[in-house]
Amino acid sequence: MAEKIAVELPEEHQLIDQLSYEYFKSKSDVDVKHYVWGFRRKDTELYEFVETLFYHPLFKSVMISTITINAIFLAIETDYKVRYESHFFLEVADLIIVAMYTAEFLMNLYLDPINYWKDGYKRFDATVLFIAYLPYTINRSNPQMHHTAMMLKGFQSLRVLKLLFYSPGMMVLVAALVETAKNVIYVLVLLFLLMFIFAILGQGLYGDPDHGDTRNWGTLAAAFFTLFSLVTVDGWTDLQDELDAKKFVSSRTFTIVFILLGFFVFFNMFIAVVIMDIQGTTDEYEQKLKAERHAALMAKKQSILKRQQDEIKALLNQQKSTEYRTFDEMVESFKKTLFHTDPMILEDFCCSLPFIDLYLSSLDRQDATIYKLQKLYYEIVAVLTNMLQESDEKPLQSLQTRR
Q: Please give the DSSP secondary-structure letter assigned to residue 345.
A: -
Tell me how far apart the alpha carbons of residues 298 and 338 are, in angstroms, rounded to a whole number: 23
Tell me how far apart the alpha carbons of residues 208 and 196 are, in angstroms, rounded to a whole number: 18
Residue 15 inside a domain? The answer is no
Domain shared by 99 and 212, yes or no: no
Interior angle at CA 30, CA 102 and CA 38, nearest 5: 70
Residue 58 inside a domain? The answer is yes
270, 180 contact by CB (below 8 A): no
User: What burial letters (b/e) apply to 341-353, b meaning 16+ CB within 10 Å?
Assistant: eeeeeeeeeeeee
Residue 16 inside a domain? The answer is no
3-class DSSP state of 204: helix
Domain shared by 190 and 308, yes or no: yes
Instruction: Kindly give the parts of the chain with pLDDT less than 70.
Output: 1-40, 315-316, 318-351, 395-403
Residue 4 inside a domain? The answer is no
pLDDT digits (tens, 9 = 90+) for 103-142: 988 988 888 888 888 887 788 888 888 888 888 887 777 7
146, 140 contact by CB (below 8 A): yes
The whole domain housing 101 covers: 43-166
Domain shared by 193 and 339, yes or no: yes
Interior angle at CA 273, CA 272 and CA 276, nearest 5: 85
Q: Structural domain tally of the chain? A: 3
Domain shared by 279 and 132, yes or no: no
Residue 19 inside a domain? The answer is no
Domain shared by 372 and 226, yes or no: no
Residue ending a domain, among 115, 142, 166, is 166
223, 199 contact by CB (below 8 A): yes
Domain shared by 340 and 211, yes or no: yes
Tell me how far apart the alpha carbons of residues 399 and 401 are, in angstroms, rounded to a whole number: 5
Provide the CA 173 distance to its chain's centre, in angstroms. Answer: 8
Q: Please give the DSSP secondary-structure letter assigned to residue 324.
A: S
Q: What pLDDT does 369 receive?
A: 92
Start-to-end CA span in the chain (Å) = 98
Domain shared by 326 and 213, yes or no: yes
The residue type of 47 is: Y
3-class DSSP state of 347: coil
Q: Where are the alpha helices (DSSP H) in 55-86?
A: 57-76, 80-85
Domain shared by 159 and 211, yes or no: no
Beta strands in 227-269 (DSSP E): none
Q: What are phi and psi of 332, to 5 degrees?
A: -60, -40
The residue type of 181 is: A
The contacts of residue 281 (CB under 8 Å, 6+ apart) are 172, 173, 175, 176, 179
Q: What pLDDT does 398 receive?
A: 66
285, 172 contact by CB (below 8 A): yes
134, 152 contact by CB (below 8 A): yes
Packing angle of the helix pair 87-111, 57-76 (nearest 10 deg): 150
Residue ending a domain, among 330, 345, 360, is 345
Domain shared by 150 and 176, yes or no: no
Residue 33 inside a domain? The answer is no
Q: What pLDDT does 5 receive?
A: 37
Provide the CA 251 distance to its chain's centre, in angstroms. Answer: 48
Q: How many CB atoms lie within 10 A of CB 33?
A: 15
Domain shared by 177 and 112, yes or no: no
CATH number at residue 88: 1.20.120.350
Q: What pLDDT does 325 receive?
A: 57
Residue 329 inside a domain? The answer is yes
The residue type of 216 is: N
Q: What are phi and psi of 232, to 5 degrees?
A: -95, 0
Tell me how far apart the alpha carbons of residues 204 and 213 are, in angstroms, rounded to a whole number: 11
* Residue 36: strand pairing partners: 39
pTM value? 0.51
Domain shared by 263 and 317, yes or no: yes
Q: What pLDDT does 33 receive?
A: 59
30, 15 contact by CB (below 8 A): no
* Residue 35: strand pairing partners: 40
Tell me how far apart the alpha carbons of residues 392 and 400 are, in angstroms, rounded to a whole number: 13
The contacts of residue 292 (CB under 8 Å, 6+ apart) are 19, 23
Tell me how far apart the alpha carbons of residues 135 and 149 are, in angstroms, rounded to a whole number: 6
Residue 402 inside a domain? The answer is no
Residue ending a domain, among 98, 131, 166, is 166
Domain shared by 119 and 193, yes or no: no
Q: What pLDDT does 23 receive?
A: 44
CATH number at residue 191: 1.10.287.70
